[in-house]
Structure 1
Amino acid sequence: MSQLSSRITRYAAVVSLASLASLALAACGSSSDKGAATAPSGGPELVSANTLTVCTHLSYKPFEFKDSSGNVIGFDMDLAQATAKQLGLPKVTIVDIDFASQTSGAVFAAKKCDMAMGAVTINDKRKQAVDFSTPYFSATQALLTKKSSGVTDLASLKGKKIGVQTDTTGQEYAQKNKDANGYETVVFDDLPTQITGVQSGRVDAIINDNGPLLDFTKDNPDFAVVKEFDTGEQYGFLFQKDNANAAKIKDAFNAALKKSIEDGSYKESYKKWFGSEPAVMPSVS
């Protein structure tokens, strides 16, 4: 959500249950057995029986996005599938929901999902609302613009507009450097509308995680990532805070991550989605 990405946008307080009724949900996959469903072999209770239900905010290519058949795929999805396997579950069900309701913990309070993903940057503010997995990805922020724009860095945006994704690390970084560089920020709800904003000329450049923006340039040669900003970001999967049952699911994710690093499947997935081997491997014990 940092993440094409450092996606980085994402309420500081847990949303009330009353407001949760208005959340719009779109699920890929389904199960009618809601509630105290249990994973095989006495595992944790699940939102739905026989599936690991995962919240995310689509689309954030190459971390999570739909293919031509409507299936959710991507780097994060590979790790979600590995976690389901670790729990002995046959499938993953995706719930597409806004980013802020994940980082606030609202989706867990409402029992919408067992865990959440989306290139979410681990930070102290979010730790107040949710628990994070072991960090699984290191990222930087990136500046994307048309090659013909003349924009090369934040200073060259003076008097111009930069698009940011709400509640993300990119938004925070752009706001922090706004006065020094004299640009205007324009807020978008998600990465696709942010990219549309720079394509249409509504904004002169956008800032977001380097992964999805670099991926975008592969198929859009008129655009380029002209600058990256080392913000020391690491991504994690999200879980309900201070909950023993959720801790079991988190442990399964961490175990699946460790196994994928040891057996080489992490590198294979990384190369598949990003085109190269990771410069920095996650540190797991």
Structure 2
Amino acid sequence: MNTRTLALGLGAIALSFAATGCAKDDTSSTTESGIQLVKEGVLTICTHLPYEPFEFTEGGEVVGFDPAVLEIAADNEGLDTEVIDVAWETITTGEALNSGQCDVAAGAMTINPEREAVMDFTDPYFTATQALMTKTGAGITSLEDLAGKKVAVQDGTTGADYVRENAPKNTEVVSYEDSSLMQQAVLTGRADAGVNDNGLLNYFVSENPEVEVVTEFETGEEYGFSVKKDSNDELLAAINDGIASDEYDAVYEEWFGTAPPS
């Protein structure tokens, strides 16, 4: 059976000090199928929490669509999984992979040329748009309505880029470190609206009727998992096999209540 563990907070900091302050035992290995692992018998996953429903903590373990998809590949290879919570910028720059913190990075991460230059991506596993969330009945229906208003975004995301490029010039953009803070800013009225991926915001409004998604913007975004550049083709192949499997369809339906788009 696949087991999943979580390294958070001080544990992740301790790992960092261990890596820089003294020699560390080499626990890396290569599976019979040629997959390179930073820890023998374990597929180590870097992500940035929380980002519901893709990854979040529940009952002391990380759950969500992303780890569930990666567990398909791990199960097929006879591996356990471990999820490590790291800063988002260390994922998008490839630093988490290059420093050997993990084998694969996940986080509802849009594939784009800047990221492809520093990491290798799997096949796309989710298609996303950007969504605009407001307090329910606020009367905001488009980006044009944000003129002179405060809009919450998440640091380092394509949603933040979209707002800065397309919102009226006098829109005040407030950037938050994680998605939870960004969502709470809208929920509590500290921001008039928020922009982030549709999967994230639609899940949030389903549990918080005080807010609503008023429109979505087609941006042609696709999510991918990433591995260290030019270093782990066998792991990419294993994850791609999982994405193409019937098990993926079942996981998608479990988390989104519908079959994946064909």
- 1:232 aligns with 220
- 1:43 aligns with 34
Q: Does 1:63 align with 2:54?
A: yes
Q: Over the residues paired in the alignment, what is the CA RMSD in angstroms? A: 1.9
Q: Percent identity?
A: 42
- 2:12 aligns with 25
| Residue 35 of structure 1, CA deviation | 3.3
Counterpart of 1:80 (choices 70, 91, 94) is 70
- 2:111 aligns with 122
Residues in 2 aligned to 1:158 and 1:241: alpha-carbon distance in whole angstroms: 41
> Using CA pairs below 8 Å that are at least 6 residues apart, which structure has the higher relative contact order?
1
Question: Structure 1: which amino acid aligns with 2:166?
Answer: N
Specify every segment of 5 or more residues in structure 1 that has no aligned partner in the other structure, as ranges: 1-22
Normalising to structure 2: TM-score of the pair? 0.88
Normalising to structure 1: TM-score of the pair? 0.81
Q: 1:98 to 1:176 in 2, by over 3 A?
A: same
Residues matched between the structures, number: 244
Q: Deviations over 1:118-177 (max 9, x none)?
A: 110001111111111011111100011111322111111111011111111101100001
Residues in 1 aligned to 2:108 and 2:251: alpha-carbon distance in whole angstroms: 15
Residues in 1 aligned to 2:87 and 2:196: alpha-carbon distance in whole angstroms: 17
Q: Assess if the C-alpha contact under 8 Å between 1:26 and 1:95 holds in 2.
A: no
Specify every segment of 5 or more residues in structure 2 that has no aligned partner in the other structure, as ranges: 1-9, 15-23
- 1:212 aligns with 200
- 1:132 aligns with 121
Q: 1:270 to 1:33 in 2, by over 3 A?
A: farther
- 1:256 aligns with 242
Query: Which secondary structure does the structure 1 equivalent of 2:225 belong to?
Result: strand
Q: Deviations over 1:156-215 (max 9, x none)?
A: 1111011111111101100001345x3111011110110111122221111000001101
Q: Assess if the C-alpha contact under 8 Å between 2:146 and 2:168 holds in 1.
A: no
Query: Which secondary structure does the structure 1 equivalent of 2:238 belong to?
Result: helix
